[in-house]
Amino acid sequence: MTMPHTSPEISGMGHSMKRKEDGRFIRGKGNFVDDVVLPDMLFMDIARSPFPHAKILKIDSSRALATPGVLAVITGRDLEKYNLHMMPTLMSDTQMVLPTDRVVYQSQEVAAVIATSRYAAADGVAAVDVEYDPLPPVVDPYKAIEKGSTLVRPDRKDTNHIWHWEAGDKAATDRVFSEADRTVSQHLYLPRIHVSSIETCGCVASYDKANEKLTVYMTTQAPHAVRTVVALVAGHVGLSEERIRIISPDIGGGFGGKVPVYPGYVIAIAVSFLLGKPVKWIEDRMENLQADSFARDYHIDAELAFKNDGTITGMRIKTLADHGCADAAANPSRFPAGLFSIATGSYDMAAAHIAVDAAYTNKPPGGVAYRCSFRVTEAVHTIERMADIAAHELNMDPAEFRLKNFIRPEQFPYQSATGWSYDSGNYKAALEMAMMKIGYWDLRREQEEKRARGELMGIGISSFTEAVGAGPSHTFDILGLKMFDSCEIRIHPTGKALARFGTKSQGQGHETTYAQIVAQELGIPAAHVQVEEGDTDTAPYGLGTYASRSTPTAGAAGAMAARKIRDKARKIAAYLLEASEDDLEWEPGKFHVRGSPDRAKTIQEIAFAAYTNHPQGMEAGLEATHYYDPPNLTFPFGSYIAVVDIDRGTGEVKVRRFVAVDDCGNVINPMIVDGQIHGGLTQGLAPALMEEIQYDEQGNIQGGSFMDYLLPTAMETPSWELDRTVTPSPHHPLGAKGVAESPTVGAPPAIANAVVDALWHLGVRHIDIPITPFKVWKILREAGVRD
Amino acid sequence: MSKHSVSVTVNGTAHRSEVEARLLLVHYLRDELRLTGTHIGCDTTHCGACTVLLDGKPVKSCTLFAVQADGRSVSTVEGLELGGELHAVQKAFKEEHALQCGFCTPGMMMSAVALLERNPSPSELEIRQAISGNLCRCTGYVNIVKAIQHAAADMRATRHTPAYVPAQEPAQVSR
Ligand code: FES
Ligand code: FES
A316-331: average pLDDT: 95
Res A330: pLDDT: 86
Burial class (CB in 10 A: 0-12, 13-18, 19+), B86: middle
At A540-568, the pLDDT tens digits run: 999 999 988 999 999 999 999 999 999 99
A164-170: average pLDDT: 97
pLDDT over 90 at A238, yes or no: no
- Contact (CB, 8 A) for B131 and A712: no
Interface contact B102-A252, CB threshold 8 A = yes
Nearest partner of A229 among A90, A396, A107, judged by Cα = A90
A720 shares contact with chain B (CB less than 8 Å)? yes
The Cα A546–Cα A330 span in angstroms is 10
The Cα A585–Cα A165 span in angstroms is 53
Pocket test for ligand 1, best of B39, B46, B135 (most atoms within 8 A of CB): B46
- Rg of the Cα trace of chain B? 16
Nearest partner of A655 among A718, A749, A746, judged by Cα = A718
Is A741 catalytic? The answer is: yes
Chain A neighbors of B131, CB-CB under 8 A: 713-714
At A394-417, the pLDDT tens digits run: 999 999 999 999 999 999 999 999
Phi, psi of A224 (to 5 degrees): -65, -40
**Distance of residue A382 Cα from the nearest chain B Cα, in angstroms:** 25
At B48-104, the pLDDT tens digits run: 999 999 999 999 999 999 999 999 999 999 999 999 999 999 999 999 999 999 999
* Nearest chain A alpha carbon to B99: A22
CB-defined site of ligand 1, < 6 Å? B 40-42, 45-50, 60, 62
Choose the catalytic residue: A466, A511, A605, A741.
A741
A685-690: average pLDDT: 98
> Ligand 1 centroid vs B124 CA: distance in angstroms?
24
Res B169: pLDDT: 59
- Contact (CB, 8 A) for B15 and B33: yes
Phi, psi of A131 (to 5 degrees): -100, 125
Interface contact B44-A715, CB threshold 8 A = no
> Mutation test of the interface with chain B: which of A198, A370, A682, choosing the one with the most B Cβ atoms within 10 A?
A198
Cβ of B97 closer than 6 Å to ligand 2, yes or no, is: no
The Cα A258–Cα A246 span in angstroms is 14
pLDDT class for A642, splitting at 50, 70, 90? very high
The Cα A670–Cα A673 span in angstroms is 5
B12-21: average pLDDT: 96
Is A581 catalytic? The answer is: no
Cis peptide upstream of residue A770 (ω within 30 degrees of 0): yes
Res A462: pLDDT: 98
A162-169: average pLDDT: 97
pLDDT over 50 at A574, yes or no: yes
Ligand minimally distant from the alpha carbon of residue A507: 2
pLDDT over 80 at A348, yes or no: yes
Chain A neighbors of B34, CB-CB under 8 A: 37
Give the other-Cβ count within 10 Å of A353's Cβ: 25
Give the other-Cβ count within 10 Å of A196's Cβ: 25
ipTM (interface pTM):
0.97
Choose the catalytic residue: A95, A108, A221, A516.
A221
A333-340: average pLDDT: 92
DSSP annotation of A4 reads: P
A682 shares contact with chain B (CB less than 8 Å)? yes
A418-434: average pLDDT: 97
Chain B neighbors of A287, CB-CB under 8 A: none
pLDDT class for A3, splitting at 50, 70, 90? low
Nearest partner of A368 among A226, A243, A546, judged by Cα = A546
Write a three-state SS string for B64-128: CEHHHHCCEEEECHHHCCECCECCHHHHHHHHCCCCCCCCCHHHHHHHHHHHHHHCCCCCHHHHH
Interface of A with B in 280-309 (CB under 8 A): 284-286
Res A294: pLDDT: 96
Pocket test for ligand 2, best of B103, B109, B143, B144 (most atoms within 8 A of CB): B103
Res A28: pLDDT: 98
CA-to-CA separations, A249 to A31, A32, A500, A532, B55, in angstroms, rounded: 6, 6, 14, 10, 33
pLDDT over 80 at A582, yes or no: yes
Cβ-based neighbours of A329, under 8 Å, separated by 6 or more: A90, A91, A321, A323, A336, A338, A366, A367, A368, A374
Res A1: pLDDT: 44
At A299-312, the pLDDT tens digits run: 999 999 999 999 99
Select from B27, B37, B41 the Cβ nearest to the Cβ of A199: B41
Nearest partner of A704 among A696, A712, A693, A713, judged by Cα = A693
Strands A590-593 and A596-602: antiparallel
pLDDT over 50 at B175, yes or no: no
pLDDT over 70 at B157, yes or no: yes
**Distance of residue B104 Cα from the nearest chain A Cα, in angstroms:** 7
Phi, psi of B107 (to 5 degrees): -65, -40
Ordered DSSP codes for A624-677: EEEEE--SS-B--EEEEEEEEEE-TTT--EEEEEEEEEEE-BS-S-HHHHHHHH
Res B160: pLDDT: 67
A69 shares contact with chain B (CB less than 8 Å)? no
At B104-143, the pLDDT tens digits run: 999 999 999 999 999 999 999 999 999 999 999 999 999 9
